[in-house]
């Protein structure tokens, strides 16, 4: 089996590179660097190094995030904090450090919590997680914190995550042309955990229009149950949108990677 993998992955990686396709991996949430459990840290380091081995077979390891490739994780346990994350990060091989990114989540590490790590590794801004963590904020593409996120990628085009809450949160459904109101949904009796769930498709046209503004500075990876169908929703929104005035040019890779399907938890 290993021989099959070792001979097949290089060809897959070569095809992706030739097509300008950006590849990423997202280990499960058990894979954390900020932990007080030595066994959990040992397992996480081994898991991340394993993911790096796969990236190496694809021809996407060695150097800083080749072609934007990355292995993304969440912050981990809250108690050890960002200093605990730094200690765990120091355990990784250099090849793994050069591929690693960290994203904000819904409960433990918001965007502000992760910004102190911008000197260590790239930050992936998850727009839906930010909406959940802040209780309803739709961060603007020109938010002052975006500059810190961009700088953390050190010249590589950033990656961001996009998803939408489920349309059926209320019996009558949510308005597809209005940005979901987190606080109004809470007043209606919905628990926060229900708002965190990913939808099947990118059904909300207002979310899509808002998210397209972020393409000026980042690629967007869609996290949805219907995977490629949801990515297609966003691509259609881009195809029909009027170009914003004086939009900064995106890199050739950014033009190709409007949205990508990712496993949704």
- Cα separation of 156 and 22, whole Å? 12
Domains, the chain, with CATH or none: 2-262 (3.20.20.150)
Beta-carbon-side half-sphere exposure of residue 203 (alpha carbons within 13 Å):
18
Q: Please give the pLDDT value at position 242.
A: 66
Q: Please give the pLDDT value at position 241.
A: 85
Q: Identify any residues that bridge with 222 across adjacent strands, giving them in sequence order.
A: 162, 261
Give 209's contacts (C-beta < 8 A, 6+ positions apart).
Answer: 237, 241
Q: Give the pTM.
A: 0.89
Phi/psi at 219 (5° precision): -80, 155
pLDDT in tens, 27-69: 988 999 999 999 999 999 999 999 999 999 999 999 999 999 9
- Cα separation of 116 and 105, whole Å? 15
Q: Please give the pLDDT value at position 257.
A: 38
Q: Please give the pLDDT value at position 29.
A: 84
- Cα separation of 218 and 161, whole Å? 9
Low-confidence ranges of the chain (pLDDT < 70): 242-265
- Cα separation of 198 and 127, whole Å? 12
């Amino acid at each position: 089996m290993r021989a099959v993998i070792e001979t097949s992955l290089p060809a897959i990686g070569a095809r992706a590179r030739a097509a300008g396709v950006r590849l990423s991996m997202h280990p499960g949430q058990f894979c954390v660097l900020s932990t007080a459990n030595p066994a959990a840290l040992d397992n996480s380091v081994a898991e991340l190094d394993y993911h790096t081995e796969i990236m190496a077979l694809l021809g996407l390891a060695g150097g800083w995030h080749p072609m934007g490739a990355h292995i993304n994780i969440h912050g981990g346990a809250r108690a050890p904090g960002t200093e605990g994350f730094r200690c765990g990060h120091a355990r990784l091989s250099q090849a793994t450090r050069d591929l690693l990114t960290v994203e904000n989540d819904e409960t433990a590490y918001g965007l502000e919590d992760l910004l102190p790590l911008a000197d260590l590794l790239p930050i992936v801004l998850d727009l839906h997680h930010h909406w959940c963590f802040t209780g309803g904020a739709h961060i603007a593409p020109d938010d002052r914190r975006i500059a810190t996120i961009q700088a953390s990628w050190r010249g590589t085009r950033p990656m961001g995550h996009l998803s939408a809450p489920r349309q059926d949160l209320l019996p009558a459904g949510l308005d597809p042309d209005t940005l979901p109101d987190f606080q109004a949904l809470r007043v209606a009796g919905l628990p926060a955990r229900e708002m965190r769930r990913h939808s099947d498709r990118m059904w909300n046209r207002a979310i899509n229009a808002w998210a397209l503004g972020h393409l000026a500075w980042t690629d967007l990876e869609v996290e949805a149950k219907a995977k490629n169908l949801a990515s297609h929703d966003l691509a259609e929104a881009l195809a029909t949108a009027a170009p914003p005035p004086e939009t900064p040019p995106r890199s050739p890779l950014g033009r190709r990677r409007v949205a990508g399907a990712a496993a949704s938890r």
